[in-house]
Each structure stands twice: as C-alpha cells, then as structure tokens.
Amino acid sequence: MARDNKRAKPPQRSAAKYLPKTPSLSSLRKAAARCRGCDLYKDATQTVFGEGPTRAKVMFVGEQPGDSEDKEGHPFVGPAGKLFRKAIQRAGIASGDAYITNAVKHFKFVWRGKRRIHQKPKRTEVMACRPWLEAEIEEVRPRVIVALGATAAQALLGSSFKLTKHRGEFVESEWPARVTATVHPSSILRAPDEESRHEEMAKFIADLKIVAKALKGRGTKD
C-alpha cells in the first residue's frame, strides 16, 4: 500500500483550552496563571496578565512583559513602562481609563551572562496567546484599542499590517472598537541620543493625543 510520506503538521499550540468557562477579568487572570498553551511559561517567572478597570475606555496592548514585569507580575512597570505611563499622562489620558496588557503574557528571553535579554516572540507564540487577548477585549469592551509596536499591531490586525505605513491611523479591524497602532515605548529608550529621544517622545505623545481626542467622542466605532 502506498504510504503518505508527508509529515502531518504538529497541532497549533493555543491557550484556548485554558480559558475559564465563566469568564471575568479575575477568572481569566487566575486561569492564565496556569497557562501551558505554548512553551514560554517554562522559563518565565510568572504569567503577567493585563490590568485596569473592567470597563476601561482604552486598552493598550504591548508585546510581552520585560524583565521587571516578569519579576513583579505587573505589565509596564519597567523602564519602558515608566516612559509609557508618563506619555499617556502628558497626552491627557487618565490612568483610570486605561487597561494595559500584552499580546504575549510570558517573558521570552535568552541569558547573556547574568542578564536576561528580551527575545521577540514567534508568530506561533503570539497566536497561541491570542485567546487571552480576545477574552480581555470581550470583557473590557474598550472604545479604543492601541497597539504598541509591531508585534501587538500584527497580533490584532494581521501579519501584513505595516506599522511604518499606518502609525497613528484608525484602521479597519475585526474588533468592536476603534483600533490604532503606534510605536513601542522601548523604541524611544533605544533612540541614539537625547535629541532624537526627545523627538520620538513628542511623536509618541502626539499619537496618544489622537487617542485622547477619540475617547472624548461617543460610541465604539465610527
């Protein structure tokens, strides 16, 4: 009998089966702490779930927790997070209006000497983690979703989305919210000198002011 030599694709890893039957932000957070939907839990200290009010007006989505977030268990508390929180404040977005999360809920890194160096998550890891993000959007029902950086933007808007082309625009999406994307705050920290860091911060705040303005409008989508 002829044999089919083609190897079957391994099943796609996913967090879906770890989702609670009755979702709420607190049941989701509890369930995510035990997620084994991909291998990133193995090296990370803990799951870093999103935080903010249940009915936040705006949801910010970063890439993944960094070294500080992994240790502390909260999103955006390290150097990029501090810069980000300063920027939203300067843009006039109240922290009480914001739910802050990440596309991937575990820190991915490699050891370099004694330091843990961030590694970009693979598309399969982003997709494996997406059920948590979908559930957060479903629970929070924000009016506006802001992707911070290309990984978050592509998690929300598909892998063909180009941040360089559509930064700061509200774009068509499957989500019941207005969706936009801007740079990741860590890119501002990586600017080569003080002057460009200043310029990049000003551009970032300008993007966030567009969001602040949209939050003053009514409804979810135009």
Give me the residues that bind ligand URA (CB under 6 A), please: 62-66, 69, 75-76, 78, 80-81, 102, 186
Minimum Å distance from CB 169 to ligand URA? 21
Between the two ends of the chain, the Cα-to-Cα distance in Å is: 60
Which residues are CB-contacts of 58 (< 8 A; sequence separation ≥ 6)? 93, 97, 98, 99, 142, 143, 144, 145, 146, 211, 215
User: Distances from the Cα of 7 to the Cαs of 10, 11, 171, in angstroms?
Assistant: 9, 12, 39
Contact criterion met (CB below 8 Å) for 9 and 121: no
Q: Which is nearer to ligand URA, 144 or 186 (CB)?
A: 186
Minimum Å distance from CB 82 to ligand URA? 10
Minimum Å distance from CB 106 to ligand URA? 11
Q: Which is nearer to ligand URA, 76 or 175 (CB)?
A: 76
> For the chain, where are the alpha helices, taking DSSP H only?
25-32, 67-72, 79-91, 123-140, 150-157, 163-166, 185-189, 194-216
Q: Which is nearer to ligand URA, 15 or 152 (CB)?
A: 152
Q: Which is nearer to ligand URA, 38 or 80 (CB)?
A: 80
Q: Judge residue 159's burial from the number of C-beta atoms within 10 Å of its C-beta, 0-12 exposed, 13-18 middle, 19 or more buried.
A: exposed
Reported residue count of the chain is 222
Minimum Å distance from CB 68 to ligand URA? 7
Residue nearest ligand URA (C-beta atom): 62
Q: Which is nearer to ligand URA, 52 or 66 (CB)?
A: 66
Minimum Å distance from CB 213 to ligand URA? 24
